[in-house]
Structure 1
Amino acid sequence: MQDAIASAQTSLRSGLILLPFTLLGCTAQPDLKNAFETPEYHAQPGLGVVNAASLYARGGTGQGVAVALVDSGLASDLPAFKGRLADPGFDFTSDSPGSVDHHGHGTQMAGILAANKDNQGMHGIAFEAQLIPLRFGDDNEPFFFDGNIARAWHYGFDKGARIFSNSWANAIPATALTEARYSQVMPESLAMARDLVGQGAVFVFPTGNELKREALAEPGLPLAVPELEKGWIAVVALKADGTAINDKSNYCGAAAPWCIAVPGGDSGAGHGLLTTSKNGEYVETAGTSPATALVAGALAALQSRFPEKSPQQIRDLLLSTAKRDGIYANSEAYGRGLMDLEAASR
């Protein structure tokens, strides 16, 4: 039975549909899915909401896919990230190779994205993906670090990343932007984003945590610079159980055509998403930041499921298969709908 399942999965990944998979499909697929629904899986409530186990059962774990984590760095020596680095990364704040995380935000996002599946605590949505940790700054508006961000993106791309997890945004409503105004604030980043999207990269950003009806500057940037849309995703955060928007997320607003909804959790004990801390403990986090990391990881896991597709094709697949029924039909709030990795991985 196991040989037949392995053969069928290999055939699917190569684009072939063989009769043995059809014969096994009714019974083997649920068994494979259930095998991934471990205590670690259930400890991270967002995974079940987006049907991640279905993607894992079809071979989509992120293996061999690099993701640039553009954040406050990473406590890369933690067991949760053993074997998870494609490159040691770079600290653009201190202008030194490698990665540290004094703030802790980057390590928490890395846990959501790619923490190991090791029977400890929780695991990331793409638990076999490879991270490139890039520290650009701490505790300030991103426009103060425009040059660092541009260099971080270039470094990540140069080291093989085509997916960029950016759990930050400038506090300017996207609808207030023009290309000229954004170029005044983030000239180096804008030029780099244009270049890398033109070469096939995908950038993921949070809509913001201000309880507003519009996304912030970076998630909504294709409004001002339409050529970026093909390589862009904005992310709105839901409650941990996915039943509604969380207690602080901005709506998708005018960014709805490239916006998707995933669990980000709420504030308060027991309402967030479980992840890793820079001290090695498991802690809760909440907001559009972890929601962004969840989507970036989902892209990596889908990329490993469909290696023949480009990252921008994977981005289109993720958006086009989102659930649009019920409350998720409200595109102003939820954009393209609730991310559904069962549908995306078929």
Structure 2
Amino acid sequence: MKADKMWRVSQGEGVTVAVIDSGVDSSLPELRGKVLQGSDASTTPKNPRQDTDGHGTNMAALIAGTGTGGGIHGLAPKAKILPIRNVVDGRGDTADGVMERAIRYAADHGARVINISWGAKALAQQFPLTQAAVKYALKKGSLLFASSGNSGDSDNLVEQPAGLSGVVGVGAIDSSGNVAKWSTAGHQVALVAPGVDMTTYCTKSKGLCNSWGTSQATAIASASAALIWAEHPKWTNNQVLRVMMQTAAKPTTGDIPSIYVGYGSIRPRKVLLDGEGDPGPASVNPLLAREGATKPDPSASASAPSSASPSTNPQSTPTATDDKRGDKKTVSEPKKNDDSSSTLWIAIGAGIAVLLAAAVVIVLVRRRGNASVGL
């Protein structure tokens, strides 16, 4: 992504990114002094600046880590993190209710970018409060990114809140721009970002690990927005998103948006280094207006490959171990294999899980998957 060159132009200074997740460990060397007070959206609140799970901390580090002490260097190292804990406690809470409170808090406390690296397989109708909160946040000027999921094409259920109107659903790609086979496809995918072989802290041991997931891709998308916004502070959320969509590497075949890569893979360097992108009207949401949507060109050449299989450990693999498997194949459109085993299901009390109304049980998923597109 030519981060070192982008950092000469912007490092995300002055932009607050809300991380709606398991909390953020503010004592981490690379995050010291960067984590704001935050809040816990559950009915049994805990300190959002602590994180017993580690997922939220890893997302925050990928966004704004400074690399201090040999730690993680995020893509927007001068951005601030607003931690919002959204673990459902199971005591009368629902995923819809907790997420609504989390999003509204973020919008009311200066978060220009809202990062949501988790989701639930559900119908949009099961998240009416969250949809209302998304609409509220958009009006307040926030930009929301949510992970599309790690279950590939295993079923037809859309991940929420990535599938809600106005939310930018993010899929994952590898360093070659290939869509990960487990990156969930569907209309919720608006953009894709790197999400394979991402450096995070190990969740089952000490030290740094290689990880994968649409969670990580979402963090990179959020950090990219922070970089652009810091350089263009007068732009609105719609304008930042518009240039991200315009400068994304587009799929070469099929509809745009594609069910696999949306409008393409994010390339903030095209905005920051090459000066590309027209911010356009401040008040028109390009995602809702479907700007740039096209029908397939029958004469276009096939070039979108599928990625190697993810690690057998869905959480992380030690950095010392190169655990990639599989071959890359060039196809007319990214083929997806059912790899539901690569989805990390979080149990109640250990992560995000919830009982929704009408006796519908939905297990929420922290995204640890990847996706692909030309970078």
Please give the TM-score of this superposition, normalised by the length of structure 2.
Answer: 0.65
Pick the structure with more helix per residue: 1
How far apart, in 2, do the equivalents of 1:212 and 1:79 lie?
A: 39
The code of the aligned residue for 1:135 comes to R
SS in 1 for 2:159: coil
How far apart, in 2, do the equivalents of 1:112 and 1:139 lie?
A: 27
Match of 1:308 among 234, 240, 259: 234
Match of 2:101 among 145, 151, 164: 151
Match of 1:344 among 251, 268, 271: 271
Structure 1 residue 99 and structure 2 residue 40: aligned?
A: no
Percent identical among aligned pairs is 27
Aligned residues of 2:251 and 2:263 also touching (Cα < 8 A): no
The code of the aligned residue for 2:116 comes to N
How far apart, in 2, do the equivalents of 1:98 and 1:119 lie?
A: 23
Q: Residue 322 of structure 1 aligns with which residue? A: 248
Aligned residues of 2:171 and 2:192 also touching (Cα < 8 A): yes
Shift of 1:324: 1.8
Shift of 1:96: 4.2
Q: Residue 187 of structure 2 aligns with which residue? A: 254
How far apart, in 2, do the equivalents of 1:208 and 1:329 lie?
A: 21
The code of the aligned residue for 2:99 comes to I
List gaps (5 residues or longer) in structure 2.
276-375
Q: Residue 263 of structure 1 aligns with which residue? A: 194
Shift of 1:54: 3.5
Pick the structure with more strand per residue: 2
Q: Residue 22 of structure 2 aligns with which residue? A: 72
Match of 1:221 among 164, 167, 174: 164
How far apart, in 1, do the equivalents of 2:194 and 2:176 lie?
A: 5
How far apart, in 2, do the equivalents of 1:211 and 1:137 lie?
A: 25
Structure 1 residue 53 and structure 2 residue 11: aligned?
A: no
List gaps (5 residues or longer) in structure 1.
1-49, 223-227, 266-271
SS in 2 for 1:134: strand
Structure 1 residue 198 and structure 2 residue 133: aligned?
A: no
SS in 2 for 1:205: strand
Please give the root-mean-square deviation of Cα atoms over the aligned residues, in Å.
2.5
Moved more, 112-121 or 288-297: 112-121
Please give the TM-score of this superposition, normalised by the length of structure 1.
Answer: 0.70
Q: Residue 200 of structure 2 aligns with which residue? A: 275
Q: Residue 168 of structure 2 aligns with which residue? A: 233
Match of 1:160 among 110, 127, 131: 110
How far apart, in 2, do the equivalents of 1:65 and 1:101 lie?
A: 23
Match of 2:223 among 285, 297, 301: 297
The code of the aligned residue for 1:254 comes to H
SS in 2 for 1:333: coil
How far apart, in 1, do the equivalents of 2:253 and 2:3 lie?
A: 21
How far apart, in 2, do the equivalents of 1:291 and 1:110 lie?
A: 12
